Amino acid sequence: MQKKEELYSGKAKSVFATDNDDFVVLSFRDDTSAFDGEKVELLSRKGMVNNKFNAFIMNYLAENGIPTHFEELLNDTESLVKNMQMMPVECVVRNVASGSLVRRLGVEDGMTLSPPIFELFLKNDALHDPMINEYHIETFGWAKAADITEMKALTFKVNSLLQKLFAEAGMILVDYKLEFGLFKGKVYLGDEFSPDGCRLWDAETRKKLDKDRFRQGLGGVIEAYEEVAHRIGVQL
Ligand code: 5GP
């Protein structure tokens, strides 16, 4: 597979064309951003850690019946993925209250959510990723009704699989964000799953082991990501 020109550069990853239109290269950079790109820093090793972490999770999900865009790990910071038409929607599941849910509704941080809460956001930095629902998505043509149903079902299936994976490694999967796309008309999980897009707390101490360490200036960001990777068995 020949890597060709850059197609797109996001806040933490870049996408490159290949000599096969069906596949693109995802390149994980060390850039770390928060607050819709207002806080940006380069954190050494982040690209490598997230690339390998994501490969591990995507493979685990695929082995357990989740269709994903992931094809193969190419090197330390790059992976080959399907060239999907991404839906501009973020699917969030919350098992424990934290982050924007607490700010929005004034509920207690750390409260267990039973049943878990599912939320949808529009992927749009200029509008600060506003919360939306199924009606906005269908009416504005961001995804078809059947694809929304599929995204939601897959997001909950991922929740059961990953809650168990992290619980067995002594962590609580507090919440996470997934993005989906279409490839040859079918819905696949896209983007990445890494500590950049989820909240993970140590089950005993509730120490934050995710991007909240960066958002809140707690330090030890990459060390925490590496600890999570090590606990679930990712080879870095
Ligand atoms: P919240 O709505 O509380 O800010 O985020 C809920 C969960 O989704 C958190 O785990 C957060 O990391 C993830 N999340 C929400 N929006 C984004 C985003 O734009 N980028 C990334 N990387 N993660 C997000």
**Centroid of ligand 1 to alpha carbon of 220 (angstroms):** 19
Question: Does residue 232 contact residue 169 with C-beta atoms inside 8 Å?
Answer: yes
Tallying the residues shown for the chain, one arrives at 236
Residue 29 CB less than 6 A away from ligand 1: no
* Shortest-distance Cα residue to atom 22 of ligand 1: 197
* Shortest-distance Cα residue to atom 12 of ligand 1: 197
**Centroid of ligand 1 to alpha carbon of 197 (angstroms):** 5
| Res 1: pLDDT | 84
**Centroid of ligand 1 to alpha carbon of 198 (angstroms):** 6
| Res 36: pLDDT | 86
pLDDT digits (tens, 9 = 90+) for 33-45: 999 889 999 999 9
Atom number, ligand 1, closest to the C-alpha of residue 196: 22
- Where does the chain have alpha helices with state H? 46-63, 99-105, 134-139, 145-168, 212-215, 221-232
How confident is the chain (236 residues) per 10-residue block, as mean pLDDT? 96 97 98 92 98 98 98 98 98 98 98 98 96 98 98 98 98 98 98 98 98 98 98 97
**Of 154, 163, 184, whose CA–CA distance to 62 is shortest?**
154
Look up the pTM and report it: 0.98
Residue 69 CB less than 6 A away from ligand 1: no
Return the residue matching tokens 């790059």.
78
CB atoms within 10 A of CB 225: 27
Atom number, ligand 1, closest to the C-alpha of residue 36: 19
* Shortest-distance Cα residue to atom 23 of ligand 1: 197
Atom number, ligand 1, closest to the C-alpha of residue 177: 8
Q: For residue 141, which phi and psi values (nearest 5 degrees)?
A: 75, 25
Domains of the chain: 3-82 (3.30.200.20), 85-220 (3.30.470.20)
* Shortest-distance Cα residue to atom 21 of ligand 1: 197
Residue 179 CB less than 6 A away from ligand 1: no
